[in-house]
Amino acid sequence: MDRLPYDGVVLAGGQSRRMGHPKETLPFPGQDGSLLTHAETVLKTALAGTIWVSRPYGTPAAPDVLVDESPDAGPLEGIRRGLERTPHPYLAVLAVDLPGIPPQLYAMLQQHTGRQIDVVYPGTPHRIQPLAALWHHDTLQLLTDVCAGPRRVRIIDVLAQLRTVMVPVPGSWLVNVNTPAEWERFLADSAAPS
């Protein structure tokens, strides 16, 4: 698989309140590493550019870390910080709690990019996932305005202001692990014979 000429950011700046402990440290099944390591590997397999990790406000700075500039800014802040850094037209994003996303997703999304497309994301008839997506650099100003605002804005409300394309994918790719029950279900499904 040819790697795409984009940078990427793993969105790992959440507080994991529903999980009860940092999701990124959960051990990924069948691999020697965590959810964070897995997400970084997915992006490094798919992309030829730099991979950053988005971290919460107050985290020590590092070359491969993008620290939120305001507390409780949400995932849009991680995307905004990546868009500030990348020289490429699109930034690939992947939330750390989406363990079913394969590297080939980004090549599929890239086929739908273009001058008039702000965000390309995967979805099914019942769910979309803009936190495993390609975001165009043109969205930077909107995200800057939203993240500087007095209240947290839902990502779905931001998408409503943008030109988007949804690419159909298998529902198993969009599994989200926010709670211990969702994590246990993911582990059970991962262990089940295919």
Question: What pLDDT, on the 0 to 100 scale, is given for residue 15?
Answer: 59
Res. 78: pLDDT tops 90? yes
Q: CA-CA distance, 189 to 172, in Å (whole number)?
A: 10
The answer to whether 59 touches 70, Cβ cutoff 8 Å, is no
pLDDT tens-digit readout, 16-28:
566 655 777 778 8
DSSP 77-128: HHHHHHHHH--SSEEEEEETT-TT--THHHHHHHTT--TT-SEEEEEETTEE
pLDDT tens-digit readout, 29-41:
877 888 999 999 9
CATH 3.40.50.2300 for domain 7-191, yes or no, is no
Q: What are phi and psi of 39, to 5 degrees?
A: -60, -40
Q: CA-CA distance, 109 to 56, in Å (whole number)?
A: 27
Residue type, 20: G
Across the range 65-73, mean pLDDT stands at 81
| Sequence spans of domains, the chain | 7-191
Please, what's the b/e burial string for 80-109 (b: 16 or more CB within 10 A of its CB; e: otherwise)? bbbbeebebebbbbbbbbbbbbebebbeeb
Res. 83: pLDDT tops 90? yes
